[in-house]
């Protein structure tokens, strides 16, 4: 097993600590960017490769494989050391990025994105875990706060950078840009990170890994296909739902019996940990579902270019940077983590509701910018405090497993958010297109996306634009509803802790 974090922390020289930290920040930035940078380029990708009906799978395939891989990396790094697993994840991510950059069809791109997710599953989890090893418990809050800020800013600047690369070069550079960044991070980490120890006789929960993969893939396939290739009342729908639930229950049973389980179910008995991890997953569900389809709204409904649609995300970046710094200062002074988290999530819910209303009523861009600024404030306050609560709730020797579980739930929430929001958008869009007065070949139209939209007559263009406006606003409403659920979960935790404090 890995030695205690205090022992590892003392093994670093100041220079090695700096090099590892820079490499880990680059790794975190690369992982966070790749979850969102693709969104702005998707309309151009569809115009080039076709396959609008399968567009959400470019994101979902990545998040599916990265979600499945996350707990595996966390557990295997405890057994074999952090450095070999981190090196493998970066290498796999870079090879798959190169393949994505040369893809010649939509299905090739989806497949290569799945391979890319296998590498990405270790980037974020192992980076956070290494920081937990590298610094003393007293310093973790400050370092993890920097990582949270890097993750948040990278996630939001992704659409802007994707728009710039797509307009100035090609959508393929959205993937190829990972190569120089990843090679630098790989070099720094491999040269400076200690190899660490490995178990003499590691026991890997292969059955648990297989069951988790099948259950997660089943749920994501179900959510992504409902209303499009799968009818809501189809026997196959109920079969897929029942089969996924059954396999998930078998996974839970396996984790209770396994000598070295992938997921430590005992941590779920800790209220602060279980509620905040679940709320983090729901928050990721809401955020990813909205951030993927908002640039699509800017381009297809407002008629903005990829670069402009990326620029319109910048208010969220600026306000998030400011609020994360101020929120971190207030958090360290007051240590009122739950209250600050409630405030942050409440602002996020309000902002997502405003964005959904703006999309539904076709509001001018200025109102979108204001709403995104509010969303950045909520994210800057909420995200760091959620991480602090989760880390403070678990024993020090469970930090690695707890980090992996948090990352897994967050990734799963984001995957389901993209899948469900994409399903709602596709279902609503199909209904609206089939209901148009002038009939069009809907499957052929959906296949070509923006190219087909530009070929329509002015009157028909306006009708189709309204169809896109209604369908994307419906998906944004789903995100708002789930953020409200996260808000209620955090409020419930705070109320329960307040009552427990009065009882004492």
| CA angle in degrees (0–180, nearest 5) for 175-20-99 | 20
| pLDDT tens-digit series, residues 295-315 | 778 877 887 776 677 677 778
Average pLDDT, the chain: 76
Question: CB count, 10 Å around CB of 434?
Answer: 11
pLDDT band at 319 (very low <50, low <70, confident <90, very high): confident
| Structure-model confidence comparison of residues 294 and 151, the more confident one | 294
pLDDT at 283 over 80: yes
In the chain, how long is the greatest CA-to-CA distance? 72
pLDDT over 90 for what percent of the chain?
4
Cα–Cα distance for residue pair 117/328, rounded to 1 Å: 31
> Which range, 85-94, 295-304, 397-406, 438-447, has the best average confidence (pLDDT)?
85-94
Q: What is the pLDDT of residue 3?
A: 41
* Euclidean distance between CA atoms 209 and 261, whole angstroms: 9
**pLDDT of 141 above 60:** no
Model's pTM, two decimal places? 0.70
Select, from the ranges 185-194, 250-259, 347-356, 418-427, the one with the highest average predicted confidence (pLDDT): 347-356
Contact (Cβ atoms closer than 8 angstroms) between residue 312 and residue 298: yes
Would you put residue 50 in left (φ > 0), alpha (ψ -120 to 50) or beta?
Answer: left
User: Measured between alpha carbons, how far is 251 from 211 in angstroms, rounded to an integer?
Assistant: 5
- Residue 51 is predicted with a pLDDT of 62
Instruction: Write out the two tokens for 321.
Output: 């940077």
- Reference 83, options 27, 15, 143, 142; nearest CA is 27
What integer pLDDT is reported at residue 139 of this predicted model?
58
pLDDT of residue 95: 92
Out of 140-149, 297-306, 358-367, 390-399, the most confident range is 358-367
246 confidence band (pLDDT: 50, 70, 90): very high
> 116 Cβ partners below 8 Å, 6+ apart?
34, 62, 65, 92, 93, 96, 97, 99, 100, 175
Q: Which residues of 123-148 are buried (b: 16+ CB within 10 A; e: fewer)?
A: bbbbbbbbbbbbbeeeebbebbbbbb
Query: Average pLDDT, stretch 476-486?
Result: 88
> In a 10 Å sphere around its CB, with 0-12 CB exposed, 13-18 middle and 19+ buried, how is residue 155 labelled?
buried
Overall average pLDDT of the 481-502 stretch: 83
The encoded tokens of residue 124 equal 């974020």
What DSSP letter does each residue of 376-440 carry, written as one string? HHHHHHHHHHHHHHHHHHS-GGGHHHHHHHHHHHHHHHHHHHHHHHHHHHHHHHHHHHHT-SS--
Measured between alpha carbons, how far is 178 from 33 in angstroms, rounded to an integer?
9
Specify burial of residue 220 (Cβ count, 10 A radius: 0-12, 13-18, 19+).
buried
Tokens standing for residue 17: 């600590």
DSSP per-residue string spanning 304-323: --HHHHHHTTHHHHHHHHHH
Task: Decide if pLDDT at 474 tops 60.
Answer: yes
């Amino acid at each position: 097993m890995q030695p205690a974090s205090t022992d590892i922390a003392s093994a670093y020289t100041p220079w090695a600590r700096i090099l590892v930290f820079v490499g880990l920040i680059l790794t975190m930035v690369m992982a966070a960017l790749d979850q969102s940078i693709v969104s702005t380029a998707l309309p151009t990708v569809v115009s080039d490769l076709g396959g609008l009906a399968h567009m959400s799978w470019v994101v979902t395939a990545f998040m599916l494989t990265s979600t499945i891989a996350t707990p595996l990396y966390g557990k295997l790094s405890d057994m074999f050391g952090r450095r070999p697993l981190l090196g493998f994840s970066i290498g796999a991510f870079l090879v798959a990025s190169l393949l994505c950059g040369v893809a010649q069809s939509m299905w090739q791109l989806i497949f290569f994105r799945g391979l890319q997710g296998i590498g990405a599953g270790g980037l974020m989890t192992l980076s956070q875990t290494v920081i937990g090893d590298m610094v003393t418990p007293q310093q973790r809050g400050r370092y993890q706060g920097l990582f949270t800020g890097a993750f948040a800013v990278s996630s939001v600047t992704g659409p802007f950078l994707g728009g710039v690369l797509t307009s100035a070069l090609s959508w393929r550079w959205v993937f190829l840009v990972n190569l120089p960044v990843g090679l630098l991070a790989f070099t720094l980490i491999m040269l400076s990170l200690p190899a660490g120890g490995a178990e003499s006789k590691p026991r890997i929960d292969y059955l648990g890994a297989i069951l988790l993969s099948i259950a997660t893939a089943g749920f994501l396939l179900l959510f992504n296909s409902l209303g499009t290739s799968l009818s809501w009342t189809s026997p196959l729908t109920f079969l897929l739902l029942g089969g996924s639930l059954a396999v998930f229950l078998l996974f839970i049973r396996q984790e209770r019996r396994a000598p070295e389980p992938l997921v430590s179910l005992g941590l779920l008995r800790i209220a602060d940990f279980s509620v905040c991890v679940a709320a983090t997953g729901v928050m990721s569900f809401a955020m990813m579902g909205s951030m993927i389809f908002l640039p699509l709204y800017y381009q297809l409904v407002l008629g903005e270019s990829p670069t402009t649609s990326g620029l319109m995300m910048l208010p969220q970046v600026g306000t998030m940077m400011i609020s994360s710094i101020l929120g971190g200062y207030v958090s360290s002074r007051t240590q009122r983590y739950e209250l600050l988290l409630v405030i942050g999530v409440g602002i996020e819910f309000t902002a997502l509701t405003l964005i959904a209303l703006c999309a539904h009523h076709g509001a001018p861009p200025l109102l979108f910018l204001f709403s995104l600024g509010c969303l950045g404030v909520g994210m800057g306050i909420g995200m760091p405090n959620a991480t602090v609560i989760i880390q403070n709730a678990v024993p020090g020797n469970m930090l690695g497993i707890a980090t992996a579980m948090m990352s897994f739930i967050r990734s799963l929430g984001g995957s389901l958010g993209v899948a469900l929001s994409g399903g709602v958008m596709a279902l609503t869009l199909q209904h609206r297109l089939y209901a148009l007065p002038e009939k069009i070949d809907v499957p052929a139209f959906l296949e070509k996306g923006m190219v087909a939209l530009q070929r329509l007559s002015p009157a028909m263009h306006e009708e189709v634009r309204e169809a896109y406006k209604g369908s994307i606003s419906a998906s944004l409403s789903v995100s708002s509803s789930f953020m409200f659920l996260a808000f209620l979960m955090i409020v419930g935790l705070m109320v329960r802790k307040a009552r427990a404090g009065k009882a004492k």
